[in-house]
Structure 1
Amino acid sequence: MARRTILHMFTPGKQMSPFDVNMGVDAGYEVAVPYCEVGMDNIVAMTQDAIFSRGPKGVASTGIFIGGRDVVMAADMLALARGAMVPPFEVPVFADPSGSYTTAAALVASVERQLRKAHNTDFAGRRVLVLGGSGAVGRIAGALASQLGAQVWLSSRKTTEEAARVAEETNKRFNAHTEGVVIRTSDMLQSVLSDTDVVFATASAGVQVISESERAAARKLLVAADVNAVPPAGIAGVGVMDDGKRIGDSNAVGIGALAIGNVKYQVQHRLFVQMRESAKPVYLGFEEAMAMARDVAAELD
């Protein structure tokens, strides 16, 4: 009798995301079991509980997902889980805290596509402003853009010290080169926008981070991308369905939350399927999500 496929879902928080449970089951896992308050102190033990109980053949039908909200902790938990494997007892592991790895990858791949399509260029040497840069999606999107050659500012509304700390931690953990910048007022925002080629809006849902008058200050802007699907639009003039639509009478094009979300959904779904179908264990983090997002984005052309 064929063994049922089981997805063990670990989170440091008090609850696993229902979104992630749905995604795992829709990707073909027959049983999805959430475990809460799993952290650095017990991820190894939980992983080894999962791999040894089904025997060498059973591990092929077993997977581990790591959620939570902390992008650095999730990356560290992924590394610990991978190190806990004892061949031939090995299972695939996929980390995507708050959906940040797949959302950030979808955001960056979508912008990369429009830079090429609308402006015949790429991220190399471009100035990228990440609004909401201290959040989960913003940090990973900034790291990915940096790895593609962009000069990245991670914005914060807090102190200069806090902005610098977030950038330093992001750079160290994700092999990036970002810079923290504090933006508290419209004048400060317009000053930074005047020298910006690409904007990622990754702030809280339902908050407009760039008004129409502020956007007018971004005279060099090529692409503006917004992950906020809750009204009002995070970037004035960018609709949720936009995918390369010209913004007003400017040279810039916009990418809306649902266009990015379509890519994100496909990325997460395909990575879950890859876990379940791979002949050998795979270990999936933000870099693998980016590779998959580029594949998905390429299919849109």
Structure 2
Amino acid sequence: MKKILIQLDTDPFPSTFDRVVAVDAGVDELFSYGGVTPETVEGLVHGAIFTRSPRDLVNTAIFVGGSHVAAGEALLRAVTKTLFGPFKVSVMMDSNGSNTTAAATVLTAARHLDLSNTTAVVLGGTGPVGCRVTQLLLGQGATVRLASRSLDRSKATCESLASVVNCAKLSAHESQSDAGLAAACAGVDLVVAAGAAKTRLISAARLQAISTLKLAIDLNAVAPPGIEGVEVMDKAREHARFLAYGAIGVGGTKMKIHLAAIKDLFATNDRVLDTVAIYDLGKSI
């Protein structure tokens, strides 16, 4: 029986990136739908679960994507709510690559650091990737400082994370002012820049001033880099006292996780691959 992946994208046109990865992961048939909302998804899900017998639904899966992560989260909730009893298929959500990128970032950090004894600052921490990087770092026992240009947004994100992870080692910081950025970065082992494209979050001088720094990861692939001096292709490149990764340096791991996750959807018919599940899958690669 053919493996069918149903791509539900919240954007008007389904992502070509996600379609290519699905094909490379060995999907036999790919059904792609754009402009999908929680209000319109029920019929698409019913079409997926009522056309094959429950024992054969392992050969059908759903991928939720799009450029807006909050919209993808809402769509994922609607999809899982529609599934019931034996009429289930596995579902993965990776809107804007947020889950696979966050998983790859934390797994990259874990190659060089004992995360349970790591203090990290996540710059741009209120964004979808930064928030997920923070969640996963906390889950591995790290102490995390979530930094944003707005202290109010940083505090709000920390409060929202409390519903999904133990936040005893999490603190909110503002990084708009030089003093605020210096305080957020003081004594850290790890700096992750997860801000919007074309946004410089920390200068080379400020980075060099962190005497305890062991690893810097910049997830911005569009110039200028989020971390001045870190190149997009850096992969464990030595920068004085610390190692550095750029977006492409992390991207190889991200792609491996994405491919493995698509394949994993067809292992059973009841998987929900979200942030933590995708990270756990990545640990086995």
Task: Assess same fold via TM > 0.5.
Answer: yes
Say if 2:260 is the partner of 1:270.
Answer: yes
Q: 2:283 aligns with which of 289, 294, 298?
A: 294
Deviates more, 1:128-137 or 1:62-71: 62-71
Q: Please report how far the alpha carbon of residue 285 of structure 1 lies from its aligned counterpart in structure 2 after TM superposition.
A: 1.1
TM (norm. structure 2) is: 0.89
Counterpart Cα distance in 2 of 1:46 and 1:155: 39
The aligned length equals 283
Contact 2:64-2:93 at 8 Å conserved across structures: yes
TM (norm. structure 1) is: 0.85
Counterpart Cα distance in 2 of 1:191 and 1:211: 15
Contact 2:126-2:153 at 8 Å conserved across structures: no
Contact 2:116-2:141 at 8 Å conserved across structures: yes
Alignment of 1:131-210 (within 5 A): 131-158=123-150, 160-172=151-163, 174-177=164-167, 178-210=170-202
Say if 2:80 is the partner of 1:114.
Answer: no
Counterpart Cα distance in 2 of 1:125 and 1:43: 43
Counterpart Cα distance in 2 of 1:230 and 1:110: 20
Deviates more, 1:235-244 or 1:17-26: 235-244
Counterpart Cα distance in 2 of 1:16 and 1:33: 10
Contact 2:58-2:89 at 8 Å conserved across structures: yes
Name the CA shift for 1:24/1:78 in 2 (closer, same or farther; >3 Å).
same
Deviations 1:182-219 (A, max 9, x none): 21133322232223221111112233322111112211
Deviations 1:140-188 (A, max 9, x none): 0010001111222222113x3222112212332x324233322113332
Matched residue, 1:212? 204
Counterpart Cα distance in 2 of 1:213 and 1:93: 44
Say if 2:248 is the partner of 1:258.
Answer: yes
Q: Please report how far the alpha carbon of residue 71 of structure 1 lies from its aligned counterpart in structure 2 after TM superposition.
A: 4.4
Structure 2 unaligned spans of 5+: none
Deviates more, 1:213-222 or 1:55-64: 55-64
SS at match of 1:169: helix
SS at match of 1:153: strand
Q: Please report how far the alpha carbon of residue 58 of structure 1 lies from its aligned counterpart in structure 2 after TM superposition.
A: 4.7
Matched residue, 1:104? 102
Deviations 1:12-50 (A, max 9, x none): 333332211111122122332232343334444432232
Deviates more, 1:174-183 or 1:214-223: 174-183
Identical counterparts, % of pairs: 29
Matched residue, 1:285? 274
Say if 2:82 is the partner of 1:88.
Answer: no
Matched residue, 1:237? 229
SS at match of 2:172: strand
Counterpart Cα distance in 2 of 1:218 and 1:40: 45
Deviations 1:46-100 (A, max 9, x none): 3223211233355232110111345455445435433432343221111111110
Contact 1:186-1:214 at 8 Å conserved across structures: no
Say if 2:224 is the partner of 1:226.
Answer: no
Counterpart Cα distance in 1 of 2:31 and 2:16: 11
Counterpart Cα distance in 2 of 1:148 and 1:214: 27
SS at match of 2:111: helix
Q: Which amino acid aligns with 1:149?
A: G
Q: Which amino acid aligns with 1:165?
A: A
Alignment of 1:59-78 (within 5 A): 59-71=57-69, 74-75=72-73, 77-78=75-76
Deviates more, 1:97-106 or 1:38-47: 38-47
Counterpart Cα distance in 2 of 1:61 and 1:236: 46
SS at match of 2:12: coil
RMSD over aligned Cα, in angstroms?
A: 2.3
Counterpart Cα distance in 1 of 2:268 and 2:45: 19
Deviations 1:92-131 (A, max 9, x none): 111111110000000000001111xxxxxx1224321111
Contact 1:24-1:269 at 8 Å conserved across structures: yes
Contact 1:70-1:136 at 8 Å conserved across structures: no
Counterpart Cα distance in 1 of 2:28 and 2:251: 25
